[in-house]
């Protein structure tokens, strides 16, 4: 008799159903453990990119101001001359600083003839080609800024510093730097975050309250404009839900607070636990308030 006929049958290769389910369960647990860590790393990278964007915007603003005898660009208007002059720029703050964020060719491509500048050659917001996206103007955490959108910005300028052109006429927001910042440049916010399309229910800005960077959309805290809240009502929101009346405030796509660029070129993360009046004190340029650390 062949003794091989009494040997145990060989086990077939491969996993049993139970083994497969155990492996899947282990993988699911590992993914569950790793996902928060990956999200934290991604958010840290996004916040660093956002910091760099705001730093670039703030330093560009200081540079264009130094070049033009200390005159800050207006929230909306002619610049550097408030009066009609050939070669004036015409638009919002983020338009006027294009040359200083390595967008010189884009700025020069916007030349038109416009009656707001005495029918002279004008570099104008209305000459910006469509579509145009500026990487430095979009925070990577701002999921509302889709690639096909034209000219949106994740950042807003402080109307207490730059001012809109009205009341007072086109370009009346021109102020001197640092003379007009009596609270101190290190205590005064110049730019902060404002999510691009978080408040489409509002109609105060172009395109259903989108922040259209060549124009006046990305603005907060300008009390000359009836729609801009002041004092404690100006408090920023973190990852807000869309609701009417909130679009005129700063808003952050990050968790725990908001990024802000100050007049000295520094960029800081303001915790969402800050007192609302403390936030307003950082927005005013000459309020004389005491800022609590």
User: How is 74-136 classified by DSSP, letter by letter?
Assistant: PSEEEES-SS--TTEEEEEHHHHTGGGGT-HHHHHTTEEEEGGGTTEEEEEGGG--SS---GG
Q: CA-CA distance, 285 to 207, in Å (whole number)?
A: 29
End-to-end CA gap in the chain: 94
Strand pairing of 88-92 and 76-79?
antiparallel
245, 78, 183, 293: CA torsion to nearest 10: 50
Confidence of residue 273 (pLDDT cuts 50, 70, 90): very high
Confidence at residue 202, expressed as pLDDT on a 0 to 100 scale: 43
204 pLDDT more than 50: no
Helix (H, G, I), strand (E, B) or coil at 270: strand
pLDDT, tens digit (0-9, with 9 covering 90-100), for 52-95 = 999 999 999 999 999 999 999 988 888 998 888 999 999 999 99
Averaged pLDDT, 138-160: 80
Confidence at residue 38, expressed as pLDDT on a 0 to 100 scale: 65
pLDDT, tens digit (0-9, with 9 covering 90-100), for 46-60 = 999 999 999 999 999
Q: In this structure, how many other beta carbons lie within 10 angstroms of the beta carbon of residue 176?
A: 12
CB 259 within 8 A of CB 54: yes
Please provide the average confidence, as pLDDT, over all residues in the chain.
83
Confidence at residue 16, expressed as pLDDT on a 0 to 100 scale: 83
Structure tokens that stand for 186 in this block: 């290190």
Q: CA-CA distance, 243 to 246, in Å (whole number)?
A: 6
Domain borders along the chain are 134-283
Bigger pLDDT: 137 or 10? 137
């Amino acid at each position: 008799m062949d003794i091989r006929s009494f040997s145990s049958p060989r086990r077939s290769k491969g996993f049993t159903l139970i083994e497969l389910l155990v492996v899947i369960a282990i993988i699911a647990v590992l993914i569950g453990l790793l996902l928060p860590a990956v999200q934290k790393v991604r958010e840290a990278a996004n916040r660093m990119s956002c910091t760099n964007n705001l730093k670039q915007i703030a330093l560009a603003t200081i540079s264009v101001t130094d070049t033009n005898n200390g005159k800050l660009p207006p929230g909306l208007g002619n610049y550097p001359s408030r009066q009609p002059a050939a070669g004036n720029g015409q638009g919002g703050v983020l338009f006027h600083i294009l040359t200083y964020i390595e967008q010189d060719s884009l700025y020069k491509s916007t030349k038109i003839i416009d009656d707001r500048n005495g029918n002279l050659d004008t570099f104008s917001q209305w000459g910006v080609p469509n579509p145009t996206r500026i990487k430095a103007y979009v925070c990577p955490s701002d999921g509302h800024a889709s690639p096909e959108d034209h000219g949106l910005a994740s950042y807003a300028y402080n109307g207490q510093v730059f001012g809109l052109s009205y009341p007072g006429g086109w370009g009346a927001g021109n102020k001197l730097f640092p003379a007009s910042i009596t609270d101190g440049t290190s205590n005064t916010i110049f730019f902060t975050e404002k999510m691009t399309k978080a408040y489409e229910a509002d109609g105060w800005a172009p395109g259903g309250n989108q922040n259209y960077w060549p124009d006046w959309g990305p603005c907060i805290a300008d009390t000359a404009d009836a729609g801009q809240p002041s004092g404690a009502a100006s408090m920023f929101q973190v990852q807000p839900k869309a609701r009417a009346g909130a679009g005129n405030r700063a808003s952050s796509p990050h968790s725990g607070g908001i990024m802000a660029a100050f007049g000295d070129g520094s960029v800081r993360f303001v915790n969402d636990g800050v007192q609302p009046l403390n936030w307003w004190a950082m927005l005013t340029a000459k309020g004389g308030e005491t800022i609590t650390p």
